[in-house]
Amino acid sequence: MSANAMRANARRGSFPTSKVLWTVVGWLVVFVFFFPVLWMWLEALKTEPQAASSPPTIFFVPTLAEFQEVMSGDFPPFFINSAIASLGSTFLVLVLGLPAAYALAIRPVKRTQDVLFFFISTRFLPFAASLVPLYLLARDLHLLDNIFALAAIYTTINLPLGVWLLRSFLLEIPHDLFEAARVDGAGFLTELVRIVIPLIAPGIAATSLICLIFTWNEFFYAVNFTSSTAATAPLFLVSFISGRGLFYAKLAAAATLASLPVLLAGWIAQKQLIRGLTMGAVK
Amino acid sequence: MSAVAEMGGARVRSAASLARRDAWLRRLPLLPAFVYVILVTQIPFALTVYYSFFSWNLLKDNSFKFAGLANYSRLLTDESIRTAVLNTVVLTISVIAISVILGLAVASLLNSEVFGKGLMRTLMIAPFLIMPTAGALIWKDTLLNPLFGLLPYVLTPFGLGRVDWINQHPMAAVVTVEVWRWTPFMMLIILAGLQSQNPEVLEAAKVDGANAFQAFRRITLPLVRPFIELGALLGSLFVVQTFDSIFMLTYGGPGEDTTNIPFLLYLVAFQGFNIGQASAIGVVAVILTTIIATVALRTLFSIFQVEARR
């Protein structure tokens, strides 16, 4: 569709047929992909008999009963553990990652590329690489089923990503600003707190949201390093596998609640999502 | 005379020490992150390599014995390990291939003149954001369940009404759920590539008489190729580690039909407590991943350089 033809169409006040066609096709595809999420929400708003009926119930009076059931039951502690693990590790990523990103972006050391390469390579080290020794260490230190130990492990998952992302945001700050601050005699910490942090506040927010996405949904370490007191939201869902009896509505309500923080974070950080997923390579 | 020389020497020395001080000041902010990463990833990895040469079962007292390469030779002969490697390869290649193709198609749709692009994109990324364990449960119990699931009901007119997907076609079920999750990821990366394209070039091609397919093949595809490669490589680093959906959907079964390397590691380490064998599997997983990661990083850096040149 050329610009001229589009203008001609606009003049005639009619929609180009190809645009309508592709819109319909596009929405069909999106519907197929979004449908399991929609279905999860619908199931969550049903009663148990409606959720496990054959043929499936399409028309029903929505009820929040299952959400209330999940929230008043044993779900909240799992949710709180997830919050502690993700927020705690995100905070640590920022505390450790911001100075490192600053060093790599603003005052590059000799082998900056190598250091960056090293950080990112640890992101791609499979969990198989360090799982067994970390487990033995946690066991010997009595840190199994400890939510702070889990947060410490999550920090290593996100630290390389945090360093790369924060660096990519820092590179966008005009260099003159740092030079001016240094002439004024600002030390490293002053520079960091008074200039860097305010300037890349949006970048810090985006990095935090990306870190949240990766830690909130994490399952492998959670299932192996926690059992009861420190168990996180994904582990609450495991209790539905054994499935004695049918609790589809409750299951859907729990799945909806467990997924909610990351869904919201991802939608809010949509513009930064690609950047976060590609370590800042694609903007 | 000598006093002057001494002063000069002192000045040189202090300049050198200042430079050294400066170099350390530059490195200092790096240290906390650096030390943390080494402590929690590199040292444990070194220990994994060390343990892989020992026979050690946590359930047996005093079983820690040097075993040489026994754990590795067992990797070559053990049937379940070969199955796991094969399953990992099949799962990764099919998920990446299908989700790249679908992701490219959806990205092209979202890059064309359609109504409601923003909302389409927002809804489209939802499968990637949904907690994988939650997504797998929803698929297993409310969509694929042969008695109450929606899909068997919808497929009844086609004679597929009572197919038990999870048990009869376990790998296809896992691949489906993973493709559902990774297509949005590919779509996002490829869409970014498509949007970096100058629309005037396509216009010019059309003026020169190229049809839509030719324009796509000759102009668009070469441009988004690095983005497709990046998506495929980063994606495969994640998909190689698939654990959540296998745990929830099939628990590696039936038999060992969907047991991949991470799931086997989980079984050997945390169900069998065979630390030596699990460590050897870990080392092999690292070698496999490093091969993919090296290529991925090269692609990443080449995109960075293109971005920098802009």
ipTM entry:
0.85
B35 touching A, CB under 8 A?
no
Q: Which of A42, A67, A92 is the last residue of a domain?
A: A67
Low-confidence ranges of chain A (pLDDT < 50): 1-2, 6-13
Q: Are residues A73 and A209 in the same domain?
A: yes
Q: Are residues A273 and A181 in the same domain?
A: yes
Q: Are residues A160 and A220 in the same domain?
A: yes
Q: Are residues A60 and A171 in the same domain?
A: no
How many domains are contained in chain A? 2
Q: Are residues A42 and A135 in the same domain?
A: no
Write the residue in B110, B282, B293 that is nearest to A26 by C-beta: B110
Whether residue A84 is contained in a domain is answered as yes
Whether residue A42 is contained in a domain is answered as yes
Closest chain B residue to the Cα of A281, Cα to Cα: B304
| Listed residue (B222, A156, A265) closest to A276, CA to CA | A265
| Listed residue (A196, A201, A166) closest to A178, CA to CA | A196
User: Does residue B307 register a pLDDT over 70?
Assistant: no
Q: What is the pLDDT of residues B117-153, one digit of tens each?
A: 889 999 999 999 999 999 999 998 888 887 778 888 8
Q: Are residues A116 and A221 in the same domain?
A: yes
Q: Are residues A152 and A189 in the same domain?
A: yes
Question: How far does the CA of residue A6 sit from the closest CA of chain B (Å)?
Answer: 10
3-state secondary structure of B309: helix
B182 touching A, CB under 8 A?
no
Q: What is the pLDDT of residues B154-212, one digit of tens each?
A: 888 887 777 788 888 999 999 999 999 999 999 999 998 888 877 777 778 778 877 77
Instruction: Answer yes or no: do A136 and B275 touch at CB < 8 A.
Output: yes
Q: Are residues A188 and A60 in the same domain?
A: no
Q: Is residue B46 within 8 Å of B277, Cβ to Cβ? A: no
Please give the residue that has the higher pLDDT: either A74 or B23. Answer: A74
Closest chain A residue to the Cα of B243, Cα to Cα: A220
The pLDDT assigned to B275 comes to: 85
Instruction: Answer yes or no: do A135 and B269 touch at CB < 8 A.
Output: yes
Q: Is residue B46 within 8 Å of B34, Cβ to Cβ? A: no
Residues of chain A with C-beta less than 8 angstroms from the C-beta of B243? 219-220
Residues of chain B with C-beta less than 8 angstroms from the C-beta of A99? 29-30, 32-33
B14 touching A, CB under 8 A?
no
Residues of chain B with C-beta less than 8 angstroms from the C-beta of A213? 129
The pLDDT assigned to A1 comes to: 45
Closest chain A residue to the Cα of B282, Cα to Cα: A128
Instruction: Answer yes or no: do B278 and A267 touch at CB < 8 A.
Output: no
Which burial class, exposed, middle or buried, applies to B164 when counting CB atoms under 10 A from its CB (0-12, 13-18, 19+)?
middle
Q: Are residues A8 and A52 in the same domain?
A: yes
Instruction: Answer yes or no: do A137 and B244 touch at CB < 8 A.
Output: no
The pLDDT assigned to B308 comes to: 57
Where do runs of H (alpha helix) occur along chain A?
A: 3-12, 17-44, 48-51, 65-72, 75-105, 112-123, 131-140, 147-170, 175-183, 188-191, 197-199, 201-216, 220-225, 233-238, 248-268, 270-277
Instruction: Answer yes or no: do A130 and B227 touch at CB < 8 A.
Output: no
Give the bridge partners for B274, in sequence order: B57
Instruction: Answer yes or no: do B138 and A255 touch at CB < 8 A.
Output: yes
Number of Cβ pairs < 8 A linking chain A and chain B? 309
- Cβ under 8 Å to A: B residues 87-126: 105-106, 109-110, 112-116, 120-126
Residues of chain B with C-beta less than 8 angstroms from the C-beta of A248? 141-142, 148
CATH number at residue A224: 1.10.3720.10
Residues of chain B with C-beta less than 8 angstroms from the C-beta of A265? 129
Instruction: Answer yes or no: do B153 and A54 touch at CB < 8 A.
Output: yes
Instruction: Answer yes or no: do A129 and B286 touch at CB < 8 A.
Output: yes
| Listed residue (B267, B244, B48, B274) closest to A130, CA to CA | B48
Q: Is the dihedral of CA B74, B262, B286, B46 positive or negative?
A: negative
Please give the residue that has the higher pLDDT: either B5 or A45. Answer: A45
Whether residue A282 is contained in a domain is answered as no
Q: Which of A14, A38, A67 is the last residue of a domain?
A: A67
Give the bridge partners for B66, in sequence order: B54
The pLDDT assigned to B4 comes to: 46
The pLDDT assigned to A271 comes to: 82
Q: Which of A67, A90, A116 is the last residue of a domain?
A: A67
- Dist CA A42 CA A252 (whole Å): 8
The pLDDT assigned to A9 comes to: 47
Q: For chain A, how far is it from start to end, CA to CA, in angstroms? A: 27
| Domain locations along chain B | 2-43, 65-309
The pLDDT assigned to B285 comes to: 85
Residues of the domain holding A102: 69-277
Q: Are residues A59 and A136 in the same domain?
A: no
Q: Are residues A38 and A86 in the same domain?
A: no
The pLDDT assigned to A11 comes to: 45
Q: Are residues A75 and A49 in the same domain?
A: no
| CATH T-level fold of B65-309 | MetI-like fold (1.10.3720)
- Cβ under 8 Å to A: B residues 133-152: 133-135, 137-139, 141-143, 147-148, 150
